Structures are given as structure tokens and as C-alpha cells.
Structure 1
Amino acid sequence: MTPATPATPRTGRRFTRTARTARTARTALAAAMGAALLGGTVCAGTASAAPGLGAGPKTPVPPAQMSTVGGDRLGAPGTQVDSAPGVPPLPPKLTARSWIVADAETGAILAAHNAHWQLAPASTLKMLFADTVLPKFPRTEVHKVAPTDLQGMGAGSSLVGIKENLSYTVHDLWLGVFLRSGNDAVHVLSAMNGGVPATVTDMNAEAHELQADDTHVVTPDGYDEPGQVSSAYDLTLFAREGLQNADFREYCSTASAQFPGDYKKDKSGKTTKARGSFAIQNTNRLLSGDYDLSRYPGIAGVKNGNTTNAGATFTGVAQRGGRTLLVTVMNPKPEHDLVYREAASLLDWGFKAAPTTQSVGTLVPPLSKLPKATPAPSAGTSSGAKGQGAQAPAAAASPASRRHGMWIAVAISAVTALLLGAVVMIVRRRRPLPGAVPSGGGASGGSRRRGGSGGRRRKLPRV
């Protein structure tokens, strides 16, 4: 073989860049042709970005100061973890822009990385959609899909396969939301809830109630839109809230199911009364597995997502040895199933570290569960000061009265601290852990935290 003529360093670099660009273009063309040949959405749970949205900066940097909801350490960029002796080291080579590991029962955050960084959430936002809408309709309610129900979905949306003019139960629709991340199912349920704009308003109100202040909802399905953001902290709040509902637990932990299809036809082509069905599988790979990824031991949900702008996102819950952990991972490197591998490694770390590590923050309760402020007693006049008007200003008080007031303030502070501690204990006791749900089980319509038609929550057995 005749040796190639050596190029000058400058020419060689130019040739290398040109060849690399050509290879990249060929790869992109081949991928596009493959998608066209396969037709439709190649991977359920994914959706293209809205026009004009890109993948963002190549080297994004979290804000220097973020929200401190849940603890001051959570407002600082970077990794927050207890480094005391005896605490196992975190998994090496984590690439996610943001992640969090928390105890689902106590709310203690074991470790976090940029927990409050506002990022695109993708379909993990459907957890907030379920928190908002799922308690409103009984699972047996039947809805006939109107053509307008399916309007407004973004190009490339993940679909479960709902068709207009066919009827589906609410149970069917939620299976479509959780298993196939179906934006069509989200839009039908939103239509039942008064429409997409009304549902977006409800979801933003629910996020506020949950103290998820990093979240702003633009679309109920998590499709990429400018201004639609959430955080690892908020997504974990959404999961923890949803897991209080038996129906939510059932849907998010179902690995596969049958979904209603078209009505069958006889040999002459006439439509019969018999309706067909087709199998759907959960796109949560820690729950259903993949060709190169095993199902995670003890996994019980919750939700995954993947869009152009958000990358891969995932929130999961798992139980082991009497402990229940939540994990959220947002936007790791774009490698096959890496979001699940990093989530699994963080869960493994959490189960090992939980007995010894100190928390770096906490998952806050909903606003409606916070203690109510006690109004201060109104200032009045003493019996000996009749007709003399209001009391003297505080600045004119005597040293003895100032000391007396100081001790009153100390006593009030002590009582307030005791009340807060008692309320936190009550909240923790009343927020049951996620548990196993028998196949086909679940209370009709679920339960509602405030108002609604559901009854009291039941603490289900652990998985």
C-alpha cells in the first residue's frame, strides 16, 4: 500500500474536522431515514422540542443561588452530602445535571446535586398532572373521545393510540398516561377536566400547594415549551404526594397491560360489537427492564420522560429492608438507559448510607399541612388606666417590663417549637408509604388531600 502524503498540521486538522462533520451528517441522515422507515414515534415517552427550542448551551451552569425550600444547603450549587466517617462514598462518574435521593417516609434528603436547578421536566411532569386530575374522576367513568379532545398535541408526541369517537374508561386513560406516557391520554383527561388551559391553571395551583416553587407549567403533558420548568426537588415532591393515592400507586407500578383497540370486523368487513385490545408496556426501564438492563429490586414506580430540550428525566421509588427511598435524576449524558443506571446507583448508595448519614435537607409538606398561625392577643388597657388612652410606646417601657416581655417571648418561642415538632410528627405519621397494590386493585377514584370524593388514606403493605 502506498503511504499517504503527510499533510501539514493545519491541513490535517482541517481534514479531520471535515471528515468528522461528514460522518456526523451521514449518521444523522441514517437515523432520520430509519425513523421514517419505522414510522410514527420511535420510542414512547419521547417528544420533539417545540419549534425554535434547541438542546440548550453545551456547558450549562446552575445558578449561584437557588431556592432554599427544604434547607439552606439545597440552595447552593454542586453536591450536598454528609462526609462524616462511615458514610459510603457517592457513586463515581455521575453525569446528571441535577439529582436527589430522599427517604419517602421521613422526607429526609440523604444527598442532592443542584436540587433546585430549574430544568425542563419532560414527561415526569405527568406526576403533577396525576396529582391534580386523578382524584377528580372515578376509574369506572366512561368517556367518548371527541375530535377536539386530541387537538393541540405537539409534533412527535408520545402516544398510547387513542382514537376519536371511541370510548375509554378513566382507568384505561391513566394506564395510557403512566405506561406509555401518552400525550393523547393526557389531552383527553384534560378535556374532561375543562380543557388544557384550565388544567394548566389547576396544575400550577397544585404545585404552589405542594411548595414546588421551582415549577411552572405550560403544557400538562410535559412537552417542551418555553418557560416550562421544574426541578429534581419538585419532581420528588410530586412523586411523594402521588404515592399517597392507591390508584396512583397502582398505575405507576404496572409493568404491562392490555389497552382497548378498534372494534373487530367479521369476514365480510362489517364492524362487530367485539372490541379488540393490544399490549402496552411501561417505558420505565427500572420497572419493566430492557435488553441490557434488569428490573431494579424493590422498584415500585414512578415516572420517566425524555424530550429534546429536557434530555432524559426519571423519578423512581424503591423499597428494601423496611426503608423506602425516592430518587430523581435529570438530564445525564445522552447515553442509552444512563438515566436509569445513575438512578439505580443512587438508590443503591441511599440504602447503604441511610443508617449512618445525616440529612442535607427535607421534603416539605403541602401548605395545607403546615401549622396554623395563632393570632396574637390584642393590646388593651389595664383596669387602672381607665380613661387614659392607649398604653405607652414600647420604647418608653421600664427595664422591668422589658425583662418581663423578653421572658414572655422566650416562652412563646418554646411553645411554638413544641407545636411545630408535634405537627411534623403528625404529618409524617399520616403520610403513608407507597406499598404494593394487587393487580387490578385500587379504590375507585382514589382519595383527595382536600375536599374531593375520596375517603381516608390507607397505609398499604410494603412491597
Structure 2
Amino acid sequence: MNPPRRRPASRAAGLISAVLVGLAPAAFAGPAAAVEPPIGHSQAQLPLSVPPPAAVLPSTTSSEYFDTPRDLTGCPYRTTPPAPVDASEVPLPGQTSPAPPPVPETPAGGESLNSCDVAAPAGFDVPGEVTASAWLVSDLDTGEVVAARDPHGRYRPASVIKTLLASVVLDRLQADRIIEVTDADLQGAEGSLVGIGPGGKYSVDRLLSGLLMSSGNDAATVLAHQMGGIEATVEAMNAHAAELGAESTHVATVNGLDGPGMMSTAYDMSLIFRDAMTRPEFARIVGTQMSGFPGYPAGEGAGAPDPAAAPANAGPTVRADGSVVNPGFVLANDNRLLYNYPGAIGGKTGFTDDARHTFIGAAERDGRRLAVVLLDGTRVPKAPWEQAALLLDAGFATDDTVGRLVDGPQTSADDADHADEQLASGPLGTVGQTRASTADGSLIERYGPWLALGAGGVIVLAGAGLTLRSRR
């Protein structure tokens, strides 16, 4: 595992604009698509004060790269992901890139999944607007695969890998444990930040909310330090992926930023997300639209506000002892599926230059719960959450399947026939009563100024010298 590394500074000039692109839309115009640059799309939903999203793109990479679906003729990504477009995966001096995981002789899940073509039953209408190189629709409760495209193709997961980190955290740390954050805990945090600061006191549950709802890399870093450090946490994540049978997954970073050997598959990420959803705390957080988040340093004026009764927007204040207080703020989930798709119960967003757009979304309809994973996608002609919605619609429209998510390592396609032996025991975690009933982000519009304050806190952190590489 490489130690924390500074990424190329090509995006440093777009630091504040990238933060605003990710957070300001949540404050002013409904749930945002995080720091996923809306390449090729109208900027109508961006505030006039936000610089054009092109400012956060690397100068050497054209928008065509982010907008163009890949040619999968010959299944070119069965061993390694597509070539990187920046230097994020170059090993540090004296280190080498890890060898990719061996390609299983018999890919798991069934013979229909042993292809990079679309595998879909009769009645599954594959939406033409879906541009992700790999995607998979599965049943969260039975593990049945409804349909897929290149499910074992290897791509970079970006921040959807935070679902794996969350599982490891919940298995090792008590959710109500309070962590007082120090400068050392934040060492190495870069990219998308929820707004954690030194002197702040946060429960593990709050940090997981920042990790999953706002894709906070600062939350990932703090949590990793609580579990023995970055390297130890990466090892734990890889070990848990192996336990689940995610044989094509190699984790290089705790936050989903690209690193040497980083890869996963739509099949593996479906396993990982399904496992994560067995944890009630995880299911509750990813299904939450709005949550209060503490400011820093802890004490007067830094408490987490109630999203349903947030006080008037206010900037930093000064205590009697002269210390500056960054107040708590309302945290909005950056998964737009939650606000716009009936029955949505959770998911995770992701973006890096090398990974392009990644997304996980889940929904329930008539007692049936489906999840969809998209890897290596574009925002053209539709945003990832919209592509996921189309695939969920197609999945709910059919009862037939083409394979199965197989529990555990070293299984073969033949094992997929033994359904009773492979199903997870007991019901999976359910979403708590924390989701707002108001659709289309009206709550965000209501608390927009307060959310903007949170964005301002992130910009303060960014101004302290953290270098941005636009990613989730």
C-alpha cells in the first residue's frame, strides 16, 4: 500500500470552483451530483457565482473523454481497467504497481455473466441512454442477477468503494464512539470534503454520514486512522472483499481516489453493496436525505442542527476565549436518486478522472428490492442516477433472472444453481424513518442557506492547502 500521496496539481487552480460545483447546487437548486462535473450539460442549475465546470477539468483531458462510451469489442478489460489519463496510479519512487488479481477460470454468477455483452432476460428492455461500460441489476434480498453488461470487466470504482470502507468500520468501531479530531487525523485528506476540522468531536455514525452522504474524503481519512492507519485499513478492506468473493477487486486507497492497481467490477461491487446493506446503520445512512453535522472545534455554537428546525444561517463566530467556531450545518445526501425516484432506498456516487462516473442505486417496489451498479460511465445523454433509474425500471418490469451473486470466495458458476445454500440468512437491513417525504429536494431548497454555510466550511479547509483532484 502506498502512503498518502499528493496528486498532480493540474486541478489546484480549480479547487474552490470544484467545491462549489459539488456543494453549491445542493444549497441553491436541489440535491447536487457531488463533484461530478456536469460535462456537456446545461449549467442552468448552477449559481451565477460558480465558475464554469470546465475549470475543474484537467487541462490535458478533453470533455470528449468523459462523454464517450467505450468500445467493448473483444472484452478488453477482463484483466486490467482502461489506461489512466493522469499520473495518480504511478507508483512512488522505489515502489511498484501490484499485479492484478488472477482472472478466475470460471467467473462467478452463472454462464450468462461470462461475457462483456448485455445479459438480460426476455422482457428486460435495455435503455439506450445507459452508457456505463459495466452495469448490473440485482435483487438485494435473493442475490439474483436480473441483467448485466460486462459484469466481470475490471474498472475503477471511485468513491462507491466507500461502501466497503463503511462495512469495515461498522464491523470494527462502535457507532456511538466519539472521536475528537486532530490535525494528524486529517493528514492526507484531499478531494471532496464534508467539512471536518481539528478540535471537532464526531461520533463514528456522524463520520459515516459524512463519508456516505457527502463522500467526504476527510471522513474516510479520520476513520482509517481510528482503525490503525491508512495502510491497515486498506488491508482490512481487501480482506473483507476477498471474504465476500469479490475476486477481481483490489483496493488501493480508503477513499476511492485512484492509486496503483485500483480496480473492481460491477459484479464485485454488487456483492459489496449487498453485504453493506445487511448493516442497519449503513442502510439508514444511505437512505437519509438530510442530516445535521457538527462544526468545530467542539463546544458552544458547534452542535449539529436539526434539519427540520435549522437555525438561521450564520457565519463563523468567536467565543469568549477568542477561538473561532465553525458552526454545524445541514448535510444533504448527494445521491439524487433519493429525491427523484419513487421507492429509492440508498446508494453511492463516485467520480475520478480515471474511473469516470460510477454509481450505485437501490429502490423498493411492491416488496421487491433491487440495486444497480454502474462503472465507467458518462453523464451524456443522462446523469448516472438517471441511467440507474432507467435500469431499475427495466428490472422491476421483469421477474426473470440471468444469474446470481454467489456468497464467499472460490465458488464456481455451477454453485449458482444451489440457491438455498447461497442466499444470505435473514432479511437484509431496512431503511430507518430518517428519509424526508418531500420529493425533488424541496427540503434542500428550504435549508439552502444553511447548506451553503457547510460548503463555506469546506472551502475554508480547502484554503488551508488541500489539493483537489475532482472526484467522488
- TM-score band by shorter chain is 0.5 to 0.7
Cα distance in 1 for residues equivalent to 2:59 and 2:263:
17
- Considering only CA atoms, is the larger Rg found in Structure 1 or Structure 2? 1
Taking a change above 3 Å as real, the CA distance of residues 181 and 227 of structure 1, as seen in their structure-2 partners, is same
Q: Secondary structure at the match of 1:317?
A: strand
Q: Secondary structure at the match of 2:202?
A: strand
Cα distance in 2 for residues equivalent to 1:60 and 1:363:
26
Task: Report what 1:438 is aligned to.
Answer: 433
- Confirm whether residue 172 of structure 1 aligns to residue 206 of structure 2: yes
1:75 is displaced (CA, Å) by: 2.1
* Aligned partners of 2:247 and 2:409 also within 8 Å: no
Q: TM-score, normalised by structure 2?
A: 0.66
Which of 263, 272, 276 aligns to 1:229? It is 263
Cα distance in 2 for residues equivalent to 1:344 and 1:275:
37
1:167 is displaced (CA, Å) by: 1.8
Which of 415, 423, 428 aligns to 2:423? It is 428
* Aligned partners of 2:69 and 2:377 also within 8 Å: no
Which of 343, 351, 364 aligns to 1:306? It is 351
Cα distance in 2 for residues equivalent to 1:117 and 1:343:
18
Taking a change above 3 Å as real, the CA distance of residues 132 and 268 of structure 1, as seen in their structure-2 partners, is closer
Amino acid in structure 2 at the alignment position of 1:340 = W
1:98 is displaced (CA, Å) by: 0.7
* Aligned partners of 2:181 and 2:198 also within 8 Å: yes
Q: Secondary structure at the match of 1:324?
A: strand
Task: Report what 1:101 is aligned to.
Answer: 137
Amino acid in structure 1 at the alignment position of 2:162 = K
- Report 1:28-107 matches (<5 A): 35=14, 38=17, 40=19, 42-43=21-22, 45-46=34-35, 59-61=70-72, 62-63=75-76, 68-83=107-122, 87-107=123-143
- Confirm whether residue 362 of structure 1 aligns to residue 404 of structure 2: yes
Taking a change above 3 Å as real, the CA distance of residues 53 and 240 of structure 1, as seen in their structure-2 partners, is farther
Taking a change above 3 Å as real, the CA distance of residues 74 and 63 of structure 1, as seen in their structure-2 partners, is farther
- Confirm whether residue 331 of structure 1 aligns to residue 376 of structure 2: yes
- Report 1:126-145 matches (<5 A): 126-145=162-181
1:344 is displaced (CA, Å) by: 0.3
Which structure's relative contact order is higher, taking Cα pairs within 8 Å and 6+ residues apart? 2
Which of 227, 234, 259 aligns to 1:200? It is 234
Task: Report what 1:17 is aligned to.
Answer: none
- Confirm whether residue 278 of structure 1 aligns to residue 323 of structure 2: no
Task: Report what 1:15 is aligned to.
Answer: none
Amino acid in structure 2 at the alignment position of 1:285 = R
Q: Deviations over 1:399-429 (max 9, x none)?
A: xxxxxxxxxxxxxxxxx99xx94xx426536
Q: TM-score, normalised by structure 1?
A: 0.67
Q: Secondary structure at the match of 1:305?
A: strand
Amino acid in structure 2 at the alignment position of 1:362 = R
Taking a change above 3 Å as real, the CA distance of residues 60 and 148 of structure 1, as seen in their structure-2 partners, is farther
1:276 is displaced (CA, Å) by: 3.3
Q: Secondary structure at the match of 1:171?
A: helix
Amino acid in structure 1 at the alignment position of 2:188 = G
Aligned residues, how many? Answer: 346
Task: Report what 2:386 is aligned to.
Answer: 341
* Aligned partners of 1:53 and 1:309 also within 8 Å: no
* Aligned partners of 1:137 and 1:170 also within 8 Å: yes
Taking a change above 3 Å as real, the CA distance of residues 280 and 429 of structure 1, as seen in their structure-2 partners, is closer
Taking a change above 3 Å as real, the CA distance of residues 330 and 429 of structure 1, as seen in their structure-2 partners, is closer
Task: Report what 1:403 is aligned to.
Answer: none
Taking a change above 3 Å as real, the CA distance of residues 58 and 269 of structure 1, as seen in their structure-2 partners, is same
1:326 is displaced (CA, Å) by: 1.1
Taking a change above 3 Å as real, the CA distance of residues 342 and 321 of structure 1, as seen in their structure-2 partners, is same
Q: Secondary structure at the match of 1:316?
A: strand
Aligned-pair Cα RMSD in Å: 3.4
* Aligned partners of 1:53 and 1:226 also within 8 Å: no
* Aligned partners of 2:361 and 2:385 also within 8 Å: no
* Aligned partners of 1:244 and 1:431 also within 8 Å: no
- Stretches of structure 1 that go unaligned for 5 or more consecutive residues are 1-30, 290-294, 371-415, 441-463
* Aligned partners of 2:136 and 2:372 also within 8 Å: yes
1:52 is displaced (CA, Å) by: 10
* Aligned partners of 2:317 and 2:326 also within 8 Å: no
Task: Report what 1:381 is aligned to.
Answer: none
Cα distance in 2 for residues equivalent to 1:93 and 1:336:
6
Taking a change above 3 Å as real, the CA distance of residues 111 and 336 of structure 1, as seen in their structure-2 partners, is closer
* Aligned partners of 1:106 and 1:428 also within 8 Å: yes
Amino acid in structure 2 at the alignment position of 1:120 = R
Taking a change above 3 Å as real, the CA distance of residues 215 and 46 of structure 1, as seen in their structure-2 partners, is farther
Cα distance in 2 for residues equivalent to 1:96 and 1:427:
28
- Confirm whether residue 119 of structure 1 aligns to residue 155 of structure 2: yes
Taking a change above 3 Å as real, the CA distance of residues 203 and 439 of structure 1, as seen in their structure-2 partners, is same
1:145 is displaced (CA, Å) by: 1.2
Cα distance in 2 for residues equivalent to 1:36 and 1:184:
15
Q: Secondary structure at the match of 2:294?
A: strand
